[in-house]
Structure 1
Amino acid sequence: STDSDIYLYDLATKKARNLCKPEGYKAPEVDVTKSLRNQKVNHQEGDMQVGYDQNPQFSPDGKYLTWVSMEHDGYESDLKRLCLYELATGKKSYVVNSDNLETDVNEYCWAPDSKSIFLTACWHATVRIYQVGLDRVVKQVTDDSWNDYGSLAVLNNKQLLASRQSMLNADDLYVITLAKKEKKAEVKAITDENGHIFSQLATPTVQQRWVKTTDGKQELVWIVLPPHFDANKKYPTLLFCEGGPQSPVSQFWSYRWNFYIMAAKGYVVVAPNRRGLPGFGKAWNEEVSRDWSGQCMRDYLSAIDDAATNLPFVDRDRLGAVGASFGGFSVYYLAGHHDKRFKCFISHDGAFNLESMYTDTEEAWFSNWEYDDAYWNKDKSEAARRTYENSPHRFVDKWDTPILCIHGEKDYRINANQGFGAFNAARMRGIPAELLIYPDENHWVLKPQNGVLWQRTYFNWLDRWLKK
């Protein structure tokens, strides 16, 4: 279950009251071997919230309480709405939901006058700052520049403090001075933490490209070009496969999946916002669930095929595909379905055998929602049957391309046996393969020296197969 609740605790009476469900609420029984999507828990009448509720904040005047709320039990990537609770009356409403902002509410904070709320949300692959009044009117505060804002706080009636990053810059702090009427806010940096390092480096170039998908829609793709880029040259190129599966390919800065470093090493990066990512509407975001091997995979191939065909500097004979988590699953799947597009693969913490993962993961609700059914259910849905039949391990007989597998042994989300299995399968097929195992890392690589080893191994593998 993903069901969590917000409680109001009275310091005088020392009693707690559940604000998400009525008194005496008893959850319906569920079949834990099936998705909660169509079970009674997600189809009840009355005033109750059965999804993931988190981050409660009082308004400065003490009249309201807000929190981020998901609608459905069992769906960890459900739309994050902003619930407004009036303390005097107990009235509950949604100041932000799909009606006025069709993307997730990330961080938020109250304005000092308690009449509005500031929040960050991703739209078209950038994380912007918005302001919403109690009348539910949403106003975009920052402009459409290619940046991601976070760590939001109020300084005073006219100014906010936030962090900002992009694919070309690590986090710094900024003061955002609010503008009147329809103008966008003034944004001023107050730190330059890594300026002395960046000033010594040649900078890559980031471009935005819209690509037509196989079903006639438009997909936003980031193209990152190496420093000192020469359009007359041909460059080895990487398809970046995002994890999540529902995490945006926004203007993020990472100390592992770092596009700046990849470009600086001489690679063009193709990073698509494929089906199943937030920031393009609720329907686009949800289209990956129960269809891991479907349209999202075709979206990946649309992005790399467009680059290889229409960007003359992309060397179609030196393409690689890389990714972690769901991106790692994507790499394992593409390894059996790429029609010789790619010359090498790298999968980090990827799901290889979905039947095994169903019972191996600590996030049982995740597998249930995404796959629909336990693999042993005789009455499993068509989506579940399709999911298991398209598990990457079933297509190893078609693997023909060198692959590097990376995994952490403390990863309980996607267990290290998935990486062991993929590596062994490749080696038994006679395919060049390497395995990097971290005994002391989980689903991420958090220790600095492990990160250095990760980067060294990652680029040694790419250089070996894409720079001959």
Structure 2
Amino acid sequence: MPKVKRALAVEDLTKIAMYSDPQIAPNEDTYAFVSATVNDDNEYQSQLFLQKINGGEPKQWTFTNAKNSHPRFSPDGKKLVFQSTRSGLSQLWIVPTNGGEAQQLTFFKNGAVNPEWSKDGKYLVFTASLKENDDVGNQHEQTKEERQKEKEQQAKEPIVIDRLKHKSDAHGFHDDKRAQLVLYDVEKATFTQLTVNDTDHGFEDISPDGNLILFSANLDDDADYALTNDLFMLNLATKDVTKLTDGNGSYGNARFSPSGDKIACFGHEYAYSGATLNELYVFDVATKERTCLSSKVDMQLGDVMVGDSRMGYSTEGPVWSLAEDKLFFIGSDHGTTGLYQADLKGNIEVLYKDNNHVFGFSYNGVDNTFILGISTPTNPCNFYQWKNTELTQLTNANAELLEEVSLSEPETITITAEDGSEIQGWLLHPYDFKEDKKYPFVLEIHGGPHAMYGQTFFHELQLLAAKGYVVLYTNPRGSHGYGQEFVNACRENYGNGDYTDLMSAVDYALENYDFIDNDRLGVTGGSYGGFMTNWIVGHTNRFKAAVTQRSICNWLSFYGVSDIGYFFTEWELGKNLLDDPAKLWDFSPLKYAENVETPLLIVHGEQDLRCPIEQGEQLFITLKHLKKEVAFVRFPGANHELSRSGNPEMRIARLNHICGWFEKYL
């Protein structure tokens, strides 16, 4: 008899290996990748692995209880540089590929990240967080005790703020350190600081001849008020900086062509504010002339898939072909992502696309093959070789867990919205499903709103199905994957068409699946999905339980407390606080608190700077004062990323609270 698999458990979250960042070696027969896991101390760690492409199991290369990541082969393939937290914070390390111990390269006080080799292997460029007068040639890494003492001292000192952009959810309150580019001369073992501007610099690429450094930054005088990100070239010999873009947009993922004559990048000029689709551009290095290659497609370039089991960076493109006649990149379309190619005339075609999630790739120009990272709803991740239109599996990640647990294969559905447009969604059947049984139901709503649910592994969704719920998740208007008009359709109209799209999806499910219990409907979502959960319970009583996560309830206060509020409010709602406070109040779920009859659980991280916890506090106090059925769960130290990269124990506690609330009321 076949083995009866058990239901997925909350704790299985800590058993999943999350792969990322495949990198093909110069010898073309090996590639490196990163595997992130949760260790026995309930902390994240990541290790480097190498695998022969034509056979053999992956071989683990790092074993320290630390985060090892960003492996990059030297051009001759004899060395591998990577970043590791084994000394206490992220520094650069190098290891011979023929064996031997890793050696620490950097001892910077604030660490070093994202190393890249010059094409001749003579130097590395990396990013370091530096103060204005820091000397990169005289850096000393602090001991654990010294770092702790400095942290305790800083906690006693006031924070002086004089900038509009003074905090971010990823980094907390900003200080006087900036991300600067540093060059390491391999032969001389010396460091040279390449950028000095009072702004953060993003490394993009090194020209093939090694003379130019491509970076992105906002160097405008009014940078504190502008959200632009320009591309620049730094000449290493003359130190001259050339600006490639015009200060009106945001550009990144930029790479020199093999000859160095051209530069490809993603970018846009905010035609639809934050809902603007990326374009694929090519610049002529000599003339600075720019050509758009993506005008023939109405698709988001890059990977915008929503999930909770991805960790670490992976290349999304654009990547040049060796012949310099094509560019390769990931595109997001109708709930899937695939590998695409564009020629220099703007003709775009699919290389690989299936009912799954391509989350990264590495390109081998010699034989025109790729290593693809792929996730499906029932398999968190694996690497494959794509060669001559054939896909060959290379890894067997999470095999033991997948042999043990039962996962639900989603059923794709198409809903007709009130205005006649089509909405894509997916339905998960509960564990041990039986046709003649009635099941409770949970609607999940993604954040963004400009993001995309789709065919990827999502532990939270699978967990709810394992707990016995029918799970529905959809891409209402405002989502990526369906073109520019669709992703822009919710702006200045929150709580209207997007709300009716979701309600139409619920109606569709109830009409077409008679195993759903109409009297046991639940709803949950995070960020924008939390806003929408709050909006829903203030506008209908059809749900018997709701969980709002890292949500927005009051756009008036959000404007001033969120790290993005001062621009996001105008981008998405059309008005800033002083423009039309009455309109912002109309968009605020808090206004409709008296209508709420649905038992509501509020889940929020205390260090969330994107949707600050005062949003959860306002909602809780208002509903509690009105004697509504409400509870509030606060997560100390957790930011907006709690559900995706937060402390593993906190993530488990969060899921237990969500499941417990639905179990109590559904």
Tell me the TM-score normalized by structure 1. 0.87
CA distance in 2, matches of 1:192, 1:426: 49
CA contact (8 A) 1:81 1:105 kept: no
Cα distance change, pair 13–74 in 1 and its aligned pair in 2 (3 A): farther
- Please give the residue correspondences for 1:342-357 in structure 2 after superposition, counting only pairs within 5 Å: 342-357=543-558
Please tell me whether residue 235 in structure 1 is matched to residue 435 in structure 2.
no
Query: One-letter code of the match for 1:361?
Result: S
CA distance in 1, matches of 2:587, 2:253: 38
Query: One-letter code of the match for 1:227?
Result: Y
Which residue pairs with 1:170 in the alignment? 380
Which residue pairs with 1:17 in the alignment? 242
- Please give the residue correspondences for 1:216-255 in structure 2 after superposition, counting only pairs within 5 Å: 216-255=420-459
Q: CA deviation at 1:73?
A: 7.5
CA contact (8 A) 2:530 2:548 kept: yes
CA distance in 2, matches of 1:77, 1:52: 13
Q: Which has the larger radius of gyration?
A: 2
| Runs of 4+ that moved beyond 6 A | none
Q: 2:509 aligns with which of 307, 326, 339?
A: 307
Which residue pairs with 1:84 in the alignment? 282
- Please give the residue correspondences for 1:21-420 in structure 2 after superposition, counting only pairs within 5 Å: 21=246, 50-72=248-270, 75-97=273-295, 99-106=296-303, 107-108=316-317, 109-143=319-353, 145-156=354-365, 157-177=367-387, 179=388, 185-255=389-459, 258-338=460-540, 340-363=541-564, 364-377=566-579, 380=580, 386-420=583-617
Q: CA deviation at 1:201?
A: 1.1
Query: One-letter code of the match for 1:51?
Result: G
Q: CA deviation at 1:385?
A: 5.1
Query: One-letter code of the match for 1:120?
Result: I
Which residue pairs with 1:26 in the alignment? none
Larger displacement relative to structure 2 (384-393 or 215-224): 384-393
CA distance in 2, matches of 1:169, 1:231: 25
Tell me the TM-score normalized by structure 2. 0.62
SS at match of 1:191: coil
Which residue pairs with 1:443 in the alignment? 640
SS at match of 1:112: coil
CA distance in 1, matches of 2:416, 2:272: 33
Q: CA deviation at 1:390?
A: 3.0
Q: CA deviation at 1:205?
A: 2.4
CA distance in 2, matches of 1:323, 1:330: 7
SS at match of 1:261: helix
Q: CA deviation at 1:155?
A: 2.6
Q: CA deviation at 1:74?
A: 8.6
CA distance in 2, matches of 1:409, 1:220: 34
CA contact (8 A) 1:100 1:137 kept: no
CA distance in 1, matches of 2:350, 2:563: 38
Paired-residue identity, % = 25
Q: CA deviation at 1:166?
A: 2.2
Q: CA deviation at 1:394?
A: 0.4
CA distance in 2, matches of 1:390, 1:92: 40
CA contact (8 A) 2:301 2:329 kept: no
Which residue pairs with 2:231 in the alignment? 6
CA distance in 1, matches of 2:523, 2:568: 25
The Cα offsets for residues 408-440 of structure 1, whole Å up to 9 and x where unpaired, read as 121111110001111222222222222111121
Query: One-letter code of the match for 1:100?
Result: V
SS at match of 1:141: strand
Q: CA deviation at 1:139?
A: 0.8
Cα distance change, pair 223–202 in 1 and its aligned pair in 2 (3 A): same
The Cα offsets for residues 152-207 of structure 1, whole Å up to 9 and x where unpaired, read as 21034321112111222212212112x4xxxxx32222111101101111221210
CA distance in 2, matches of 1:188, 1:422: 51
CA distance in 2, matches of 1:141, 1:228: 37
Q: How many residues are treated as equivalent by the alignment?
A: 423
CA distance in 1, matches of 2:258, 2:617: 53
SS at match of 2:293: strand
Which residue pairs with 1:33 in the alignment? none
CA contact (8 A) 1:205 1:226 kept: no
